[in-house]
Structure 1
Amino acid sequence: MPHASRQLLTSGLRSVLAIALLAGIAHAAIDDDAREAFEAAQNHIDQRDLRSAKVELLNATAAEPEWIEAQLKLAEVSLELFDPETAREHIDKAIKLGAPETAYSHLLGHALWLSGETGKAETALTQKTVARANMPYAFRILGRVYMDQGDTIAAGQAFDSGLKLAPKDDRLWTEVARLRYVVSDLGGATAALERALALNPANVRALELRGRVVRDQFGLAAALPWFERGLQIDPNDVPSLEEYGTTLGELGRYREMLVQARKILTLDTKNAKAFYMQAILAARAGNYALARRIMGKVGGRFAELPGPQMLVAVSEYELGNFNTAIEILTRLVSAQPHNIELRTLLARALHRSGDQSAAWDAIAPVANREDADHYSIVLAGRILEALGERDAAAFRLDRAAYPSITTPLALAETQALGAAAAEAAREPKNARKVLPYVRLLLSAGQFGQARQAISPLVAGNDGVVEAQLIAGDVELAAGNRVGAIAAYEKARKVALNDAVLGRLVAAYRGAGNANAASNVIAEYLVYNPSSLPGQRLAAFDLIDRKLWDQALPILYRMRARTGFNDSVLNANIARTLTALGEHDEAVREARLAYRIDPANVMTTYAYGRAVMLQGDDAKRARDLLRKASKLAPDDKDIARDYRAAQKL
């Protein structure tokens, strides 16, 4: 146990006399209006109406400004409302009135932590005297302080110390769940939240966190009931409203998201997340100037998070301010070098700005991978064209012509192997420390050592999805597809997110089990109906199974969201219409795809085949299929249709 936690444990031994002192400081006769307001506040607290309680406590302290108990109760309620400024004001008043340390030290630590002063918060919680009754509270906040400092081991020890004193403290169990969530142990987080909610079904913080965990586990739609349940208990709980609103937005339910954003702003006029939701809605509507103006209202630590920063970068890009977008994205990529989406956005901005060499440096780690997505491959091809590398560009554009389902893998690690090994050895059960080391071993082909490194993390850690995924990746790289599927299925039991979905679908398809792959996709879409990766996989799966009438609506929905500039998506719509016998519509869609990318073998072939089957322009069909045949001379389907066109 850290010295700070041991100090906190012993500090309660001197608290009995101080508590008696506090009782003696209280006025013998409290103003009747103040006492009535205080009692009303307590009733509001019992009903989880903290805002009304705060108003009543402000009335009580105004009527009886020297009442220490009312000052400290107001501070406590303010902290529950995430208002450290008001809390600190009334803690200071209580101190001036003579309140002993035991009465306020836990509250002071909480206020300092909420204000971002983690060092001072740690001092307040460990160096000041804490009443024994307040020690579970103090340990709960101390654990959060350590989490913010990045010391997850000390955080866990603080929470454990609190639970030894109060094993049925549902707030402490909620924080244990939060810690497990932070270290990617979704299964462990779920178990701790179940314990918290069994102790107190009305624990709004546990319900909000449960919604976040479920969102990561099973998708957006699955999370909504948890947020809604919390809001039934406390309709004005801002964190729950924030998570509920952002989840609605990610589901494409933007009007409902806007309702939540407006409600948040009535409760907190400067709420950064509410402004962020409004900016997202403006960007979705194509009004990037408005999105940028709204983001100008977003301040504090939230404004520096990757999501808000990326929205600003995208807005600047769409407004033609490429250098500003590049500056933001470069900073984000430096902080998150393995984030594929950020790298792709940076490469796109650099490409548009004319800095093709830097654009290639940004996109190469993504586009050169076996699991590279269609867009990044096409972007890489365009960048190489701009660099004058025609052959290399043609190779990538040809590769992008026929998208396939592949196992999504993490970007290569840049950390040195020795340093990564040392980090993993220090914390062998911490996924964030072990996974970089395992990825380095995988890239070096050291499968045996990779298995050995992953073993302590996987053992007894079925709830850590990333551990099961990397275990599957190791087995897949070693040629053990059965073992890989078993590991991926363990991950699926805990969470079915994008990473699990892609791996399982690719693994099952590679094993020739198309039905299992289809079932995974269908299960994923139940809770993530608006997911573009899920829709794309579902559409390709249905096309492969020749279920054209089921694939077409999905393809149309995807295009409604992404626009008409995806040549491969348009070509697939044309292919599907052709298979359904809708030849005139197929020709229109194929023509659109071909205009966007006339050098692409897929668009050329889809257009030529559609024209041939329409039967109105035999020469055009022959010309297009001849071109497709030259682009892909070994493709048997193209050769067959070209021969048929020559007979027209």
Structure 2
Amino acid sequence: MAALARGDGIAAEADLRAELAKGAPRNQIAPFMGEAQLMQGNLADAHRWLDNEDFAPNVRGQGFRIRGHLAMREGKLGQAEKAYATALQFEPDSADLWVDIGRMRYRSGAQFGAVEASKKAITLGPENPSALLFRAQLVRDSQGMAAALPLFELGLKHSPNNAPLLAGYAATLGELGRAKEMLAALRKLANTNPGNPRLLYLQAVLAARAGDYDLARGLLQRSGDLERQMPAAILLLGIIDLENGNYASAAQGFDRLARLQPENARVQRLLARALKLGGSDRELIARFAGRADTPYIAMLVGRAYEAIGDREKAAGFLNRAQRPFAMTVRDLAPATDLDVAELYGDASGPSTVSLVRGLVAAGNPTQAKARADAFLARYPQSSDAMALDGDASLAMGRPDLATQIYNRAAAVRRPWPLAKRMIYALIEQGREVDAANLLARFVKGEPNNAEACALLARWAYLQGDYTRATMLLDHASLYGAANDPTLVSLRAAIARKAGE
């Protein structure tokens, strides 16, 4: 079983066939052979070993657990749930099984149930590397990178060569700007698991942050299909193209990612920048003139209008770009027109999201709230459904209610779009100090978020802390906000205050 433990499905299959040749019962070997086939991506062969097998009593829990893995791989979450429930009858105290149950719950939208499963796994296996990895990933989602780091370190203390833990640890260090420690973790990963697909991606991230974009591109290209399948790799490749002057290619990558992640504000900014640098002014105007809600995008749209000779429209956007920096939150755009969204109704999660957002955009927040409430009632353990309900409450003019709902959602996941709305809702209630404290906690957990750093710099400036404001502005510029006109204006204001 050593080959299975290190993830070598080919060697495991050879060992298991040797055991069969020696007379080992098939029903004793079946769970492990199914796992070996699954590791190799041979799903049809995995089915032959797992589907109709009457597993031996001492491996029955393992058999149903691997059957659940197979269902998960195929996206059959209902079958996975049944298989794991059966496995639980035989292995109720298995930390690994509770991790599997947690991951299944998370994918099915029961994120609160996933959190409970992760805590159960840690209780059963406080030194279990899979349990610590899963818990670290969930903490990272809800509390930020810094809070997750001790869990990765605890896992590596007990399992120093665990490849998934090393990869997660390295990525978290990178997001915290701790490049030297990230490099050390990657070197260890390269020594213990040189074929790990995330190794090349993380090395590419490190190279790009050091300004060696050619090396970063080469590493990504060696990673196989990763740069076409993994959103973070798509983003990195787009940034590399942007830095190397391949603006059309960068725009294509950002466009693809924007369709996958329509709420990702950073991707939208990068797409707008790529279009402008590539001379696609009319496309930039068509896509962003109606949603130029940040000074940076307003500036790009204004310059695009200048480029096509429409100075009157250019002036309006350039004036908007020079407005004093303030907290702005726009309604998230629905994926489809309201007419189309109403046809699909609440048939699925994405269609419900489009319907609620479409109703908000159409000026009907009361109906949007009713739909969001119904959606949350159907999926009470979904943090995404909870966040949507908070958005509808905010649109109704109930920031107090939105704050209550957002806080519950953020206990599981607190991405920047949600954190930004939480901050905005607090400001709407006159709770500026609470908003600033929330923002400071977010920046501590995700220091590479340029927009969050810029907002915190503005708060520090308003409080008269010009040293801290300057430090935060420098950090925001380093991580992608160097061209934001509001940051230039804020720097100028700080310089005036300092008599420079």
- Number of the residue aligned with 1:8: none
- 1:410 is matched by which residue type in structure 2? L
The partner residue of 1:396 within 314, 317, 321 is 317
Q: Does 1:570 align with 2:491?
A: no
Change (3 A) 1:171 1:527: same
Could you tell me how far 1:107 is from its partner in structure 2?
Answer: 1.6
- Number of the residue aligned with 1:216: 141
Could you tell me how far 1:546 is from its partner in structure 2?
Answer: 3.9
For 1:354-379, what per-residue CA distance to the aligned partner results, in whole angstroms no more than 9, with x for missing partners? Answer: 33333334x42xx6338x33332322
- Number of the residue aligned with 1:350: 275
Shifted more, 554-563 versus 499-508: the winner is: 554-563
**Contact 1:468-1:490 at 8 Å conserved across structures:** yes
With normalisation by structure 1, the TM-score equals: 0.71
Could you tell me how far 1:139 is from its partner in structure 2?
Answer: 2.5
1:183-262 to 2 correspondence within 5 Å? 183-262=108-187
In 1, Cα distance between the equivalents of 2:468 and 2:384? 33
In 2, Cα distance between the equivalents of 1:204 and 1:88? 24
Q: Does 1:369 align with 2:369?
A: no
**Where does the alignment leave 5 or more consecutive residues of structure 1 unmatched?**
1-72, 425-430, 585-648
Classify the secondary structure of the residue corresponding to 1:423.
coil
Change (3 A) 1:126 1:228: same
In 1, Cα distance between the equivalents of 2:482 and 2:151? 37
**Where does the alignment leave 5 or more consecutive residues of structure 2 unmatched?**
none
With normalisation by structure 2, the TM-score equals: 0.90
- 1:79 is matched by which residue type in structure 2? L
Q: Does 1:421 align with 2:421?
A: no
- Number of the residue aligned with 2:98: 173
**Contact 2:102-2:115 at 8 Å conserved across structures:** yes
In 2, Cα distance between the equivalents of 1:178 and 1:441? 33
Classify the secondary structure of the residue corresponding to 1:583.
coil
**Contact 1:185-1:461 at 8 Å conserved across structures:** yes
**Contact 1:282-1:288 at 8 Å conserved across structures:** yes
In 2, Cα distance between the equivalents of 1:242 and 1:105? 31
In 2, Cα distance between the equivalents of 1:152 and 1:226? 28
In 2, Cα distance between the equivalents of 1:456 and 1:132? 44
1:277-296 to 2 correspondence within 5 Å? 277-296=202-221
Change (3 A) 1:419 1:100: farther
- 1:157 is matched by which residue type in structure 2? K
1:540-559 to 2 correspondence within 5 Å? 540-559=458-477
Q: Does 1:410 align with 2:332?
A: yes
**Contact 1:313-1:329 at 8 Å conserved across structures:** yes
Could you tell me how far 1:284 is from its partner in structure 2?
Answer: 1.2
Could you tell me how far 1:435 is from its partner in structure 2?
Answer: 3.0
- Number of the residue aligned with 1:138: 63
Could you tell me how far 1:265 is from its partner in structure 2?
Answer: 0.9
Could you tell me how far 1:91 is from its partner in structure 2?
Answer: 2.8
Q: Does 1:583 align with 2:489?
A: no
Could you tell me how far 1:218 is from its partner in structure 2?
Answer: 0.4
- Number of the residue aligned with 2:242: 317
**Contact 1:485-1:504 at 8 Å conserved across structures:** yes
Could you tell me how far 1:463 is from its partner in structure 2?
Answer: 5.3
- 2:132 is matched by which residue type in structure 1? L
- 2:88 is matched by which residue type in structure 1? L
Change (3 A) 1:406 1:147: farther
For 1:508-536, what per-residue CA distance to the aligned partner results, in whole angstroms no more than 9, with x for missing partners? Answer: 21222212212222332343344323322
Shifted more, 213-222 versus 138-147: the winner is: 138-147
Change (3 A) 1:519 1:461: farther
**Contact 2:372-2:392 at 8 Å conserved across structures:** no
In 2, Cα distance between the equivalents of 1:84 and 1:139? 19
Which structure has the larger Rg?
Answer: 1
In 2, Cα distance between the equivalents of 1:319 and 1:119? 44
- Number of the residue aligned with 2:450: 532
Could you tell me how far 1:82 is from its partner in structure 2?
Answer: 1.9
- 2:216 is matched by which residue type in structure 1? A
- Number of the residue aligned with 1:622: none
- Number of the residue aligned with 2:373: 455
**Contact 1:170-1:195 at 8 Å conserved across structures:** yes
In 1, Cα distance between the equivalents of 2:473 and 2:346? 48
Q: Does 1:520 align with 2:438?
A: yes
**Contact 1:230-1:240 at 8 Å conserved across structures:** yes
- Number of the residue aligned with 1:599: none
- 1:386 is matched by which residue type in structure 2? A
- 2:208 is matched by which residue type in structure 1? A
- Number of the residue aligned with 1:299: 224
Change (3 A) 1:350 1:270: same
The partner residue of 2:189 within 259, 264, 276 is 264
- Number of the residue aligned with 1:92: 17
Could you tell me how far 1:554 is from its partner in structure 2?
Answer: 2.0
Q: Does 1:510 align with 2:436?
A: no
**Contact 1:272-1:297 at 8 Å conserved across structures:** no
In 1, Cα distance between the equivalents of 2:264 and 2:213? 23
**Contact 1:186-1:217 at 8 Å conserved across structures:** no
Could you tell me how far 1:472 is from its partner in structure 2?
Answer: 1.4
Could you tell me how far 1:166 is from its partner in structure 2?
Answer: 2.6
**Contact 2:476-2:482 at 8 Å conserved across structures:** no
Change (3 A) 1:97 1:390: farther
Could you tell me how far 1:506 is from its partner in structure 2?
Answer: 1.0
Change (3 A) 1:563 1:419: closer
Could you tell me how far 1:558 is from its partner in structure 2?
Answer: 2.6
